Amino acid sequence: MSTATPPAPVETKPELKVIEDATCTFCGCVCDDINLTVDVNEKRITKAQNACVLGKAWFFNHHIEERPEALIEGQPATYEEAIDRAADILLNSKFALTYGLSDTTTEAQRVAVAITDWSGGCLDTTTTVCHGPSGMAFQRVGEVTCSLGEIKNRADFLIFWGGNPAESHPRHFTKYSLMPKGEFVPNGRKDRTAVLIDVRKTKSAKAADIFLQVKPRSDFELAWSFRALAKGIEPDPSVEEKTGISIDQMKEVMEGMKKAKFGAILFGMGLTMTRGKHFNSEAILTLARDMNKHTRWVAKPMRGHGNVTGADNVVSWSTGYPFGINLGRGYPRFNPGEFTSTDVLARGEADAALIIASDPMSNFCQPARDHLASIPSVVLDPKMSETARVATVAFTTSTYGINAPGTVYRMDDVPIPLRPAFESPYRSDLEILTAIKNKIRERQLAS
Ligand code: SF4
């Protein structure tokens, strides 16, 4: 028996590289000041300087999963085979639905719009389930808007309505709105007044000077009371009982709003997805407009996904509308409720689906999920999502921002370039969608 001691394991130093000013696409803040340290051999991110807790989780949990390039009916396939089958599905459909788009690049979104146009189906994005009501309100009353940079440098009065940025957008307060020192607010937080309006006392309430706990389902009445006060009209006393806020409290806030040099209302899904929906968004947008009779005010939605704002921009500049569009007649028709994804699926109308970077099987209503599972579908996702599991063709893709370059839009409609950390063996959404589009056109032109 040998008594030789085994050789000591050789310690190898990891090969590290640093990507400066990388962009985090986890939430709509799209922070572009993240310094990433990458272990080149292990293909993983080991440090994410400046990222918040959500951003760190986004970067650190990113692994390249070992999967086939694509699956066709659950069987491994090459990209070429899958592209062929995807083109078949979309060309043979009469009413295909394109859905998702909020977690991919603007370049890929453009190609997805073109595919829907050539195949003549419905085009919808995840805006339909978050700020869709705001999209409808923008169509009706417009938007008094500005960039987050202007809010940072100018805003001395902030109203956060129906959102909890402290937990949903952790760097919004520190980087863009509440805390930073700006050109016209040199003392940062001390120069600003913050009001939080919500149905419950969230973590964000601690950061506000004034917290108004509005009764559930009465944001519309409160917004309309503020509109009345902005115009010098006394609200009906019944709004106190309805909203849970006294008229004196409303007047105190309105006085501060009128005295401000630059005010911003930043509203979230607590406003857009409760009773009133697009009427609530419309009330906030028109309140900001009314306030401009007194001083400068803007209103901006707080957007969730990294490039949902890009999806709104691309779809709007291509079709004139932000979501819920039908291109079947060769020109765009906008009708939320008729052409929105859950509706076309739950009514059993869509006969095929192209789902990009989204997982409707995890969050749509049961009738919509049942129908989606029963029709041919093409899914692009870096992960094996519930939707990818039921897909006829499931493409494995690289992750935007971490592996794939491109552009995303911050929640204030400012385009930001991506600086990927390392390459992925998988193709990007843009590459796959472009190949599908080319295949569709090739066959259409040949027929
Ligand atoms: S605030 Fe949002 S974009 Fe910024 S680091 Fe955190 S998760 Fe990423």
Q: Are 393 and 12 in contact (CB under 8 A)?
A: no
Looking at the predicted structure, is the pLDDT value of residue 235 above 70? yes
C-alpha–C-alpha distance, residues 391 and 382, integer Å: 14
Q: Are 342 and 363 in contact (CB under 8 A)?
A: no
Looking at the predicted structure, is the pLDDT value of residue 21 above 80? yes
27 ligand 1 Cβ < 6 A = yes
C-alpha–C-alpha distance, residues 263 and 252, integer Å: 15
The whole-number pLDDT of residue 102 equals 95
pLDDT tens, position by position, 407-437: 999 999 999 999 999 999 999 999 999 999 9
The 3-state DSSP class for residue 283 equals: helix
The whole-number pLDDT of residue 447 equals 84
DSSP conformational letter for 208: -
Q: What is the dihedral of CA 53, 59, 65, 69, to 10 degrees?
A: 130
Per-residue confidence band for 129, with pLDDT thresholds at 50, 70 and 90: confident
Atom of ligand 1 nearest to the CA of 171: 1
Which residue, judged by its Cα, is nearest atom 2 of ligand 1?
Answer: 27
DSSP conformational letter for 410: -
Q: Which of 109, 124, 180 is CA-nearest to residue 150?
A: 180
Atom of ligand 1 nearest to the CA of 34: 5
Burial 414-428 (b: 16+ CB within 10 A, else e): eebebbbbbebebbb
268 ligand 1 Cβ < 6 A = no
State the chain's mean pLDDT as an integer.
95
How many degrees, rounded to 5, is the angle at CA 169 between CA 164 and CA 172?
100
402 ligand 1 Cβ < 6 A = no
Q: Which of 399, 439, 295, 434 is CA-nearest to residue 58?
A: 399
C-alpha–C-alpha distance, residues 434 and 112, integer Å: 8
pLDDT tens, position by position, 248-305: 999 999 999 999 999 999 999 999 888 988 899 999 999 999 999 999 999 999 999 9
C-alpha–C-alpha distance, residues 294 and 185, integer Å: 20
Please list the helix, strand and coil fractions of the chain in percent, rounded to the nearest 5, in that order.
40, 20, 40
Ligand 1 geometric centre to CA of 74 (Å) = 35
Ligand 1 geometric centre to CA of 306 (Å) = 9
169 ligand 1 Cβ < 6 A = yes
First-last CA distance in the chain = 77
| Helix ranges restricted to H, 92-176 | 106-119, 132-141, 148-154, 165-168
The 3-state DSSP class for residue 405 equals: coil
230 ligand 1 Cβ < 6 A = no
**Token digits for 253?**
């806030």
How many degrees, rounded to 5, is the angle at CA 78 between CA 77 and CA 84?
90
The 3-state DSSP class for residue 74 equals: coil
Looking at the predicted structure, is the pLDDT value of residue 4 above 70? no
**Token digits for 371?**
């129908």
pLDDT tens, position by position, 322-349: 999 999 999 999 999 999 999 999 999 9
| Helix ranges restricted to H, 173-277 | 219-230, 238-243, 247-259, 269-272
The 3-state DSSP class for residue 70 equals: strand
Q: What is the dihedral of CA 146, 149, 152, 154, to 10 degrees?
A: -60
Looking at the predicted structure, is the pLDDT value of residue 1 above 70? no
Looking at the predicted structure, is the pLDDT value of residue 10 above 70? no
